[in-house]
Structures are given as structure tokens and as C-alpha cells.
Amino acid sequence: MTSTASVRTAHLTADAVSKGFEHTPVVSAVSLTVSAGERLGVVGENGRGKTTLLRLLAGDLVPDRGAVVRHGSVALVGQELPVRDGDTIGTFLDTALRVSREAVAEVTDASTALADAEPGAPARLTDALARAEALAAWDADRRADVALAALGAPSDRTLPMTGLSVGQRHRVRLACVLAERTDVLLLDEPTNHLDGPAVEHLTAALRTHPGVVVLVSHDRMLLDDVCTAVLDLDPTPDGEVRLHGGGWTGLAAARAAERARWEQRYALESAAHAELTEQVDAARSRLISSWRPDKGVNKHKRATRAPGRLHTLVRRLEDLDARRVPAPPSPLTFTPPELAAAPDEVLLGASGVVVPHRLRPFGDVTLRAGGRLLVSGANGAGKSTLLHVLAGRITPAEGVVHRSGAISIGLLAQESSFADETATPADLVERAEGVPLAELGLLDDVDARRPVSALSTGQRRRVSLALLLARTPHVLLLDEPTNHLSTALVDELTEALRATPAAVVVATHDRRMRADLAGWPDLAL
């Protein structure tokens, strides 16, 4: 990496990079080039290796084979955001703006060196000034304030990160990274925790970013608005990853067309394979019978023709098998369990609820059997707190929460965590004593038997969803349910939520889901 590169010469190249875990290949011989001004999207099913690829590009993981060349400074905004005690907005800024701060410090040091008439000082100062200028380093903190405000994040440097909502933490980190003029921006699901105005700011910032952008996202609108090309990691007939020009829409059409061609070709080749196999078997039988002691006429002719015919058929079968496409893998299909309708009464109600510093005052909530409610509001307005109050996990300081005694309530929390990280998804769901995991179509058999700690973020989210649904609750409380899920599952889940007889409360910023659930009553906090 050459951190002195101008942002306009920023460049990222991966040459046949491969990486595997537990002897299973995750990223296989991926090659790509992204130049300044280009914005590459990366998509694929949960667990397909998007985060792994991004970490390889960032230099955060070492490839098993192949190489990555980075030209310019690099920032990785990871899919998850661990915070430690002691982290504040200030410490996040110190890390993000480190390069700018060092550049300013170098100007000061070089000036001192010049004043002391040290040899080489003039050249050192010229370099330091050029570098600070290129980074607009003196302006970094002001840019951070602008980005924090634009993303609706708090800006008090002393605020501890642990005291912020999940969404606020993500905004702070994103603002820090946008403020630093990093050449190569690598972003993993950056819109998961952003509301509409914040997504607009991010979209504009990325579209005008003069360097390199690589963006993993399930947000189809963001991919359309931002990307100049999209890399699809999902399976293809030839095993190669696909690069499509443009955003999501073009990719989706090309992907569907390729899948249709693949299925058609597979069907034709399978039929041809079956027919040829039959012919080979028949020719082999004829050959065997032709070598039996003579009983009839024409013995000589049969004996000489039969081996040639068999040989030709075997050759044709071998040729076919050599170029045959593999069977198109069946994608996982989410099969929501039947949730029971509750008696037609008020299942859940809240009035006059007060949770100091965590929840804005709101009107009453009343949810009847089969009821629907969308919860919206800026980060930190208290959406997650409200869902926890409704679920009975937070007791409000004031107000009344009514829960019908005969019903069960399930909460999908904003972040997935598991008491036993070594347990497998299959075990966890079995312990819930409800619908077996295999019936839900959320994880394949292999991933269902790995420890949850080893799964990708989206796969872990699928486990949380499975645990929630396996218990077939009467009321579903879902906090940002689309976060980390693949586009296919987002659509399947949305459809299931629209159809279920259970009552549903959804807190989401996801533009697509909000549009798809338009018409649901909306509680704005």
C-alpha cells in the first residue's frame, strides 16, 4: 500500500484470490480490478463469502492463494461493530482521522526541522505540505462534524459508544470514515442501520467519492443508485463469478436469464445423457451376446460391427459428460410455519409508557389478533426500546402495558446473539421444542450442524429468525428484520409477514420493506 497516492490514482486489484475455512473454499479464484471513480457492488446469498472477500481486499485476511494489490489508503467499514468500554465518539474519530492527524503532525515536525536547519528539511516540509493538502488534513474535524450532522449522529466527542443505540453507533463510525478522505472505501452492509435521510447522504457521498468504492449490500436501491458494476458471488454454470455493468436491476435480469438457460441446458443434457447411457447398455449387451457361441446366421457381421458401435457410443457419452453443466443448485426457500390466529381480542396494549432517556413519548399502542404496525423514527428515538417494552423485557418507569395471558410473543432483536455460541443451529432450534429447523428453509444441512459462532452474520440472523418462528408465536415483534438478510429472503419474509394470521409489529428503516408494507398503520416515534 502506498498511502501517499492521490485519491484519483487509487486502485484495487485482486488476482485469483482464494480463501477457505475449515477446509471449505469460501472465496475461489476471484479476480477483479476497481479504479478511481468506479464503485463495485458485491452480492450473493448469506454465507457466500462477501465479507470474506471484502476482508481479503482490505488486507484484514491473508489469502490462501492469489494476491491483492492496493494503491492508496484503505478503510474497511465492517458488517458488525463491536464496541468496548472506554470507546467514545472521540476515540473513534482518533482512529478514523489518524492519517490526517499524522499528516498535520508531520507538517509541524518538518517546520521545526526547518527552523533548526536540519539537512533535508526543506524537501521534507514540501512533501509534508503536499500530503496534508491532498488529504485536506486541517479540515478533517470539521468534515467529521458535517458528516455526523448529515447522518443524524451525535457529535459530542466525550459520549461513550456503549451508551448509544446500535444505529447511532453505526452512524458515528460511518461519519468518521466519510470524513477521512480515504482512497479505497470498503463497506459491508452500510445501510443496515441508517434511516432515509442518512441513506441519501451516504448515497451522495459514495457517488461523488473520487477514489475506489467496494460495497457489499442487500439494499437494491443503494446498489442501483451507487454502483457502476456488481459482482455476483452466487453459483454459475461454469463456476466463475459474474461481473455485471450497472446496478442491481440489470444484474437481476441477467441472473434470471442465465438461470433459465442453465436449467434448460441441464435438462437437455440430462435427457441426452440418459438416452446415450441406454444406447451404450444396449450396445454392450449386443456385444456380449455376439461373442456367445453361434446359433444363428450373420454371426461374423455382428461380431465385427458391435465393438465399433459401442466404442462410438462410449466416446459420445464421455464427450457429453466432459462438457455437461452441473445441476443448478436449488436455492434455499423459506417456508414460514403456520402461526396460529389468536382469539379476536386485544393481544397487546401500551399507554402512557415512559422509559427515561430511551423512548420518546408516543400515543397508545393497541394490537388485536392479526393486527399490523410499522414503527418508524430516527436512530435513538426508541424503536428497539418500545419493542422490548411490548415484549416484556423492559419494564417502563411509568405507564401500563397489557399482554393477553393466553398468547405467546416472539421478539427478533436488532442484533443476533446466542447464549451458547458453540451450539449448532439445529441444536438450538431443537431446544426450542417447536418446528424443526430443516422445515423452515433458512439454512442448509451443513450450516445447520456448524457452531453458530462460525456462521456468517446473515446466517446468524437466519438462526435468530428460525428460533423465533419455531416457537410459532401469536405476536411477532421484529426489530430491523431485513438487516443482513439476502434479497431473496427479504422478499420471502415480507410475503410471509403480509400473509400470516399472527399479529406483527415491524420496526424498519429498509426502504424496500417499508414500500412493500405500505398501508400498514405507522407509529412514528
Ligand X SMILES: Nc1ncnc2c1ncn2[C@@H]1O[C@H](COP(=O)(O)OP(=O)(O)OP(=O)(O)O)[C@@H](O)[C@H]1O
Q: Which residues in this chain contact ligand X in the complex, by CB under 6 A?
A: 21-22, 26, 44, 46-52, 79, 454-459, 484
Which of ligand X, Mg ion, none binds 88 (CB below 5-8 Å, type-dependent)? none
**Contacts of residue 461, Cβ cutoff 8 Å, sequence gap at least 6:** 46, 416, 483, 484, 485
Shortest distance (Å) from residue 203 CB to Mg ion? 21
- In the complex with ligand X, which residue's Cβ is closer, 46 or 290? 46
- In the complex with ligand X, which residue's Cβ is closer, 48 or 244? 48
Which of ligand X, Mg ion, none binds 75 (CB below 5-8 Å, type-dependent)? none
Which of ligand X, Mg ion, none binds 49 (CB below 5-8 Å, type-dependent)? ligand X
Return the bridge partners of 232, or none. Answer: 43, 242
Which of Mg ion, ligand X, none binds 40 (CB below 5-8 Å, type-dependent)? none
Shortest distance (Å) from residue 454 CB to ligand X? 4
**Contacts of residue 510, Cβ cutoff 8 Å, sequence gap at least 6:** 219, 480, 482, 483, 490
Which of Mg ion, ligand X, none binds 21 (CB below 5-8 Å, type-dependent)? ligand X
Which of ligand X, Mg ion, none binds 482 (CB below 5-8 Å, type-dependent)? none
- In the complex with Mg ion, which residue's Cβ is closer, 54 or 507? 54
- Contact in structure between 161 and 172 (CB atoms under 8 Å): yes
Shortest distance (Å) from residue 315 CB to ligand X? 40
Q: Which of 384, 397, 391 is nearest to 367 (CA)?
A: 391
The closest residue (CB) to ligand X is: 458
- In the complex with Mg ion, which residue's Cβ is closer, 80 or 269? 80
For residue 321, the SS3 value is helix
For residue 361, the SS3 value is coil
Give the amino acid at 389: V
- In the complex with Mg ion, which residue's Cβ is closer, 167 or 190? 190
- Contact in structure between 371 and 439 (CB atoms under 8 Å): no
- In the complex with Mg ion, which residue's Cβ is closer, 220 or 358? 220
- In the complex with ligand X, which residue's Cβ is closer, 139 or 234? 234
- In the complex with ligand X, which residue's Cβ is closer, 44 or 336? 44
79-98: which residues touch Mg ion (CB under 5 A)? 79
Contact string 38-67 vs Mg ion (x = CB under 5 A): ------------xx----------------
> CA-to-CA distance for 410 and 437, rounded, in angstroms?
17
- Contact in structure between 385 and 355 (CB atoms under 8 Å): yes
The reply on whether position 416 binds Mg ion by CB under 5 A is no
Mapping DSSP onto H, E and C, the string for 469-519 reads HHCCCCEEEEECCCCCCCHHHHHHHHHHHHHCCCEEEEECCCHHHHHHCCC
The C-alpha cell 446496478 sits at: 247
Shortest distance (Å) from residue 188 CB to Mg ion? 6
211-270: which residues touch Mg ion (CB under 5 A)? none
- Contact in structure between 478 and 504 (CB atoms under 8 Å): yes
C-beta neighbour count of 162 within 10 angstroms: 12
Shortest distance (Å) from residue 459 CB to ligand X? 5
Shortest distance (Å) from residue 194 CB to ligand X? 17
- In the complex with ligand X, which residue's Cβ is closer, 385 or 486? 486
Give the amino acid at 403: R
Shortest distance (Å) from residue 337 CB to ligand X? 22
- Main-chain dihedrals φ then ψ at residue 17, nearest 5 degrees: -80, 140
CA atoms within 13 A on the CB side of 218: 25
Grid coordinates of 90:
472521540
Shortest distance (Å) from residue 45 CB to ligand X? 7
Shortest distance (Å) from residue 121 CB to Mg ion? 48
Which of Mg ion, ligand X, none binds 143 (CB below 5-8 Å, type-dependent)? none
Which of ligand X, Mg ion, none binds 507 (CB below 5-8 Å, type-dependent)? none
Which of ligand X, Mg ion, none binds 445 (CB below 5-8 Å, type-dependent)? none
The C-alpha cell 429468525 sits at: 465
- Main-chain dihedrals φ then ψ at residue 503, nearest 5 degrees: -80, 145
Which of Mg ion, ligand X, none binds 44 (CB below 5-8 Å, type-dependent)? ligand X
- In the complex with ligand X, which residue's Cβ is closer, 55 or 201? 55
Shortest distance (Å) from residue 46 CB to Mg ion? 7
Which of ligand X, Mg ion, none binds 47 (CB below 5-8 Å, type-dependent)? ligand X
C-beta neighbour count of 117 within 10 angstroms: 8
> CA-to-CA distance for 16 and 31, rounded, in angstroms?
5
- In the complex with ligand X, which residue's Cβ is closer, 165 or 456? 456
Packing angle of the helix pair 248-290, 299-323 (nearest 10 deg):
160
Shortest distance (Å) from residue 458 CB to Mg ion? 6
- Alpha helices (H) in 116-187, listed in sequence order: 121-135, 140-150, 166-179
> CA-to-CA distance for 114 and 145, rounded, in angstroms?
33
Can you give the binding site for Mg ion, defined by CB under 5 A?
50-51, 79
